Every structure is written in C-alpha cells, then in structure tokens.
Amino acid sequence: MTLVPGNSLLTETPEEGRELAIAIARKTIGAIQPDADTRHVLRPGYATNADSLTMAAHVVAIEFATIAAANNYWRT
C-alpha cells in the first residue's frame, strides 16, 4: 500500500499541496480501515455529523501543514 503518492511531499504549488493532503488523508483512512464494505457502511454516519466532518477537515489541515513545511511554504 502506498501511503504517500509518488513517495514525495514536494509539490509545485499550494493547490497541488492541498490535493496531496486530501489524498494522504484518504489513504490513511483506507489503511486504518482496509475493508471497503465497512467504510461504506460507516460513511452515512460521519457524512451527516458536523463534528466528524470537522475532525476530518482537521486531519487534512495537519497533512497540509506538513506538506507546506516540506515545500518551504513554496518560497524560492
């Protein structure tokens, strides 16, 4: 299982960094709960829960902060 697409946190732009953060967060969920059927059963519960969605956004924000730091905040 590849948890970091391309095995690198380096991206050309912040937009690409954000996309990578979302991809990594999604792959993390797949690694934690590898059974797709179970994820499908659980999805309605968290998809309609504001706290769950806020926590998911927080995970993406942490991933993005890590990627931004790895990219020296896109400064040259």
pLDDT tens-digit readout, 38-71: 999 999 999 999 999 999 999 999 999 999 999 9
Q: What number is the average pLDDT over the span 13-31?
A: 95
Residue 28 within any structural domain of the chain:
no
Is 72 part of any domain?
yes
Helices (H), the chain: 14-32, 36-47, 50-70
Q: Which residues contact 49 (CB under 8 A, 6 or more apart)?
A: none
Domain assignment present for residue 12? The answer is no
Is residue 74 one of the residues assigned to a domain? yes
Residue 57 falls inside a structural domain: yes
Residue 8 lies in a domain: no
Q: What is the pLDDT of residue 76?
A: 65
40 falls within a domain: yes
Phi, psi dihedral angles at 63 (to 5 degrees): -60, -45
Q: How many domains are there within the chain?
A: 1
Structural domain range at position 66:
35-76
- Cα torsion angle, 66, 16, 20, 37, sign: positive
The C-alpha atoms of residue 73 and residue 10 are separated, in whole angstroms, by 10
Q: What is the pTM of this model?
A: 0.86
71 in any annotated domain: yes
